[in-house]
Structure 1
Amino acid sequence: MTTRRVVLTGLGVLSSIGNGVEEFTQALREGRCGAAPITLFDSSGFRRTFAHEVRDFEPEQWVRRTPVEELGRASQFSIAASQMALRDAGWTPEDLAERRGLVTIGTTDGEARELDFLIEHEVNEGFAKLDGRAVRRLPAHRLANSVVKELRLPRAVPSVVGTACAAGNYAIGDGLDAVRFGEADYALVGGSDALARRTFAGFSRMGLVASDRCRPFDSDREGLLTAEGSGVLVLESLESAQARGARIYAELLGYGLNCDAHHPTAPDQESVVRCMCIALSNAGVKPGDVDLVSAHGTGTPTNDVTESQAIHDVFGDNPPRTVALKSMLGHSMGAASALGAAASALALAHGFIPPTVNHRTTDPACDLDCVPNQSVEAQLRVVVNNGLAFGGNNASVVLARYEEDRS
């Protein structure tokens, strides 16, 4: 079967450190941290009350054909990030109307904020008075269907991937295959999640929420901070990008997926190793070719040690620099690995490594160069972006700096 080289030509980003590719890039360089007290729901009664919220978001700026009140916050995010990504790629929705497309959005919570609202409404007002609009906003498939509807993409196939915190990478793999094997002319892929009280309560109950900052790989790390956001990538064939003179951020070389079902919450080291090895094999890349790992890096005691040891197992005694973007972005659930892929592509395109911020002392059990606190200039060739989810849903994506001749 003939395969095509697949490149990334557009990025759309909503995050706690900035919206849009320019602001996001600058924030990565500066090492901004988006942690702040929660404002999107009543956090009284919780012992810890910090999270990462998307700020300065006006859905009406991006949602013009669909009544905004018909959309949950996560669907609004996915539409906005898709609009940004297309604009960044130099395409309009009209340009894609006759092209075969794929729209795959990964998520953990779907529209869980609507469920929060409905439960609160039912408690206070009774079941008979439930808001019908909120009920209609609830289905998770709307995260992708709303993009297709809003952008008027009649030949695009929408789907939502619910593989928890690895879902963004799962979506990227879906789009990579569709374009690589000629099943689609373009793909809009990534992840979207909105901050939900239910999810925050769950992580709080497990004792995994940090007091004020997420500190991956740090000896004093306390846990994660929940977050929201969206990252959407435009993928197309190299031939298509060259024909229209598009800017290329990076080339997508391959990906790996596995699901070990080892434990509901605890990662399995051997399975994480296998996932990265599958990705490298699919990409045709040797471990020694990798310059940077964008880690899942949640800042929880178990994840960071397990992932660090898995990285040593794959790359040896001198592994590549390994950064944890959740120190800046928080854990945006299904959007996390999509935002990680976006950051990886920007690092490749602009020649820098974003830092792991809030860092004080590296845990000896992690033993990685996590690029603490300050970004560094670096001409990267290959980056591995990890997403590790509950239930053992693992996904790694391999991105490379675009070179005309990769042979």
Structure 2
Amino acid sequence: MSLKIILILLALSGVSGIVLGYVLRVLIGLAQRGSVELDTKRRLLQAKEQAAKIISEAEFRGEVIETERLAPIEEREEKLAAREERIASREEFLDSRQGDLNEKEDEVRAREQEALRAKGEAENLAAARSKELAKVAHLSEAAAREELFSEIERAHEEAILLRLQKLEANGRERFEEKARTILTSVIHRLGNAVNAEVMSLSVTLPSEDIKGKIIGKEGRNIKAFERATGVDVLIDDAPDKITLSSFDPLRRAIAKMALEKLIADGRIQPAKIEETVEKTRAEVADIVKQKGDAAAFETGVIGLDPKLTALLGRLHFRTSYGQNVLTHSIEMAHIAGMLAAELGADAGVARAGALLHDIGKAVDHEVQGTHVEIGRRILEKFGVDKRVIQAMQSHHEEHPYETLEAIIVQVA
């Protein structure tokens, strides 16, 4: 075969291959396009089905929501209808009541008019009667009225006097009954027994030998004791006691307590006596302060100067008419406070005046004057309220009663 033929065959083969490749490519492209269109149609169909399902569910939910929304509205409409019915019935009732009230108002107005007419007629009749009386008696209206009253008084003088006496007797009985009730209530509320204990000035001795120790050699111990305490020691024939004498109740108390301590200790000598008396004096000062503070606290009297409270505590060692003066003052303060509360007076002033009414007795053995005057000066010195001083100064009627609280303190 010649070269030319071979080349022609090769050229034809190449062209055939190219044509065949193109045809195959076209066929493959057509096949792929058909597959894509099929997939697209399938997806579109699925999307339509899903959309239809969603629309169906949405319609169902919409129907449910609409049903739920309409249900409360129907209930509300029913309630509103019921309320409107009640309001309508109430309005009908109020209308009927208003009609009744209008009728009653008309009746009241009519009666008021009748009353005014009757009053006018009565006033006219009274004026006419007065004028007639004045005309007959040739008197003025005022003189005629006075004459009429005088005539009535003369005609019924005995009855008027009896009535006045009866009113006076009834008033006196009511006041006395009220006073008895108040006093009975106060006494019942307090109800404390009077402390009749008198602080003894005698010291009991355990044996006869102790008396000799107290006297000491040539009387040195007893002289040292009297000098340290300021009291007189009286030794009589009684074997079991020694009597202490002094005008100062505080000194007597210090001496009694110190002597009892010395007897208990057994060492009785001048140096020991002075030491024991000093310690006892300090203890008594503490007792005085405690007693004064306790009395003021118990009776509710606050704001007192500490020095004044200490003077009040000294009354614990003072007796009067068989009673401890501080206890007596506390009881008086309670009674005065209750009386003041019942009578509408100042209970605080009454309590303070009663508690401090015997404060002068704390120093009346040292200062000239009655215990009332001494007490007034003490209270003025410490700036106590003037009303309290007025309340305490009249309890022995040395001063006139200036306030209701002063009378209450005196009664207490």
TM-score bracket, shorter-length normalisation: under 0.3
TM-score, L = length of structure 2? 0.21
Question: Which structure has the greater CA radius of gyration?
Answer: 2
TM-score, L = length of structure 1? 0.21
Q: Kindly indicate which of the two structures has a greater share of residues assigned to strand.
A: 1
